[in-house]
Amino acid sequence: MQYTTLGKTGLRISRIGFGTWGIGGGAPVLHWKDMWKADDKLSKQALLNAYRVGVNFFDTALEYADGHSERLIAETLAGKDIIVATKIPPLDGHWPAQNKDINQVFPKDYIIEKARISYKNLGSKTIDILQLHVWLDDWFDSNVWREAFAVIKKEGVAKFFGISVNDHDPNSALKIVDSGEIDTIQVIYNIFDQAPKDELFPLARKRNVGIIARVPLDEGSLGGTFDYQTTFNDWRKDYFTPERLKEVVDRVKQMKNKLASTNRTMAQIALKFSLLDDGADVAIVGMRNPTHVLENTKSLDINLSKEEIEYLKNQRWIRNFYPEDV
Ligand X SMILES: NC(=O)c1ccc[n+]([C@@H]2O[C@H](COP(=O)([O-])OP(=O)(O)OC[C@H]3O[C@@H](n4cnc5c(N)ncnc54)[C@H](OP(=O)(O)O)[C@@H]3O)[C@@H](O)[C@H]2O)c1
Cβ at position 236, least distance to ligand X in Å? 8
CB of 140 to ligand X, least distance (A): 19
Return the number of the residue (114 or 133) whose C-beta is nearest ligand X. Answer: 133
Residue 7 or 24: the one with the smaller Cβ distance to ligand X is 24
Which CB, 7 or 89, lies closer to ligand X? 89
Question: CB-wise, 94 or 120, nearer to ligand X?
Answer: 94
Using CB under 6 A, which residues numbered 288 to 317 contact ligand X?
Answer: 288-289, 292, 295-296
Cβ atoms of residues 274 and 16 within 8 Å? no
Comparing CB distances to ligand X, the nearer of 38 and 203 is 38
Q: How far is the CB of 170 from ligand X (least distance, A)?
A: 13
Confirm or reject binding of residue 286 to ligand X (CB under 6 A). yes
Angle (nearest 5°) at CA 13 between 55 and 315: 80
What's the alpha-carbon Rg for the chain, to the nearest Å?
A: 19
Minimum distance of ligand X from residue 88's CB (angstroms): 11
Q: With contact defined as beta carbons under 8 Å apart, do 168 and 95 qualify? A: no
Could you give the dihedral angle defined by the CA atoms of residues 45, 51, 53 and 56, in that order, rounded to the nearest 10 degrees? 150
Binding segment for ligand X (CB under 6 A), chosen from 18-26, 143-151, 201-209, 240-248, is 18-26
User: From the list 20, 43, 184, 274, which residue makes contact with ligand X (rule: CB under 6 A)?
Assistant: 20
Cβ atoms 288, 50 nearer than 8 A: no
Among 13, 27, 44, 59, binds ligand X (CB under 6 A): 59
Q: Is 27 in the site for ligand X (CB under 6 A)?
A: no
- 270 neighbors 220 (Cβ within 8 angstroms): no
Least distance in angstroms from the C-beta of 208 to ligand X: 21
Q: Give the x-and-dash track for 168-207 against ligand X (CB under 6 A).
A: ------------------x---------------------
Least Å distance between CB 292 and ligand X? 4
> How, if at all, do strands 57-59 and 158-164 pair?
unpaired
Of the CA atoms within 13 Å of residue 153, those in its CB half-sphere come to 13
- Whichever of 119 and 192 has its CB closer to ligand X, that residue is 192
Give yes or no for residue 216 binding ligand X (CB under 6 A): yes
Interface with ligand X, residue 106, by CB under 6 A:
no
- The answer to whether 19 and 56 have CB atoms below 8 angstroms apart is no
Q: Residues 183, 220, 279, 312: which binds ligand X (CB under 6 A)? A: 220
Among 218, 273, 274, 279, binds ligand X (CB under 6 A): 218
- Report, in Å, the least distance between residue 288 CB and ligand X: 3
Decide if residue 118 touches ligand X (CB under 6 A). no
Interacting residues toward ligand X by CB under 6 A:
19-22, 59, 133, 164, 186, 214-220, 223, 225, 267, 284-289, 292, 295-296
